[in-house]
Amino acid sequence: MEILGLYYYWVFAILLMIGLYAVIAKRNLVKKLIGLTLFQSAVFLLYITMGKVDEGTAPIFSVTGSNIFSNPLPQVLILTAIVVGISTTALGLGIVVRLKEEYGTIEEHEIQEIDER
């Protein structure tokens, strides 16, 4: 039973590292942004997993009152974080589009070569 819970944290670690690999090893700028999105999603998964309580339900008081709720605080934090994530992704994509217009390419090494000339 404990392995089941640990599995969530292991998937967080693996997903985090997959996203980080895409950011550092891939040369295409849009691929890096996609990797960053995966990285953020892994962090969200970690926080929400930590907030879960056994036999709990969503933290919404309802008429059929069960009294055990999962922790609302990580959920508030992650709600904010998801929207901030999409905002930074949108800004990043805007920068990538402008880079393509100025340099003609979105491969990182080609941009560096053009800059060095």
Partner 1 sequence: MIVIFGVVLLTLLVITAIAIVRTENLFVAVMLLGIASLFIAGNFFLLDAADVALTEAAIGAGISTVLFLSALALTSERERSKSSNKILSFTVVAVAALVLIYATFDKPRFGDPDAPVQTHVAPWYLEKTPEYIDIPNVVTAVLGSYRGYDTLGEVLVVFTAGIGVLFLLGSGAPLGSLPQEKINEGLRHHLIPRVVGRVLIPFILLFGLYVQFHGEYGPGGGFQAGAIIAAAIILFSLLEGEQRALSVLPARVLLGLVAFGPLLYLAVGIAGIVLGGNFLDYSVLSSDPVKGQQLGILLIEAGVGITVTGVLLSVFHAFAARGR
Window 3-42: residues binding partner 1 (CB under 8 A): 4-22, 24-28, 30-31, 33-35, 37-38, 41
What's the closest the beta carbon of residue 67 comes to partner 1, in angstroms? 9
Closer by beta carbon to partner 1, 76 or else 114: 76
Q: How far apart, in whole angstroms, are the C-alpha atoms of residue 19 and residue 85?
A: 14
**Candidate residues 36, 43, 86, 112; the one interacting with partner 1 per rule CB under 8 A:** 86
To the nearest whole angstrom, how small is the minimum distance from the Cβ of residue 117 to partner 1?
A: 18
Contact 99, 114 (CB under 8 A): no
- For the chain, how many residues are written? 117
Contact predicate 16/43, CB 8 Å: yes
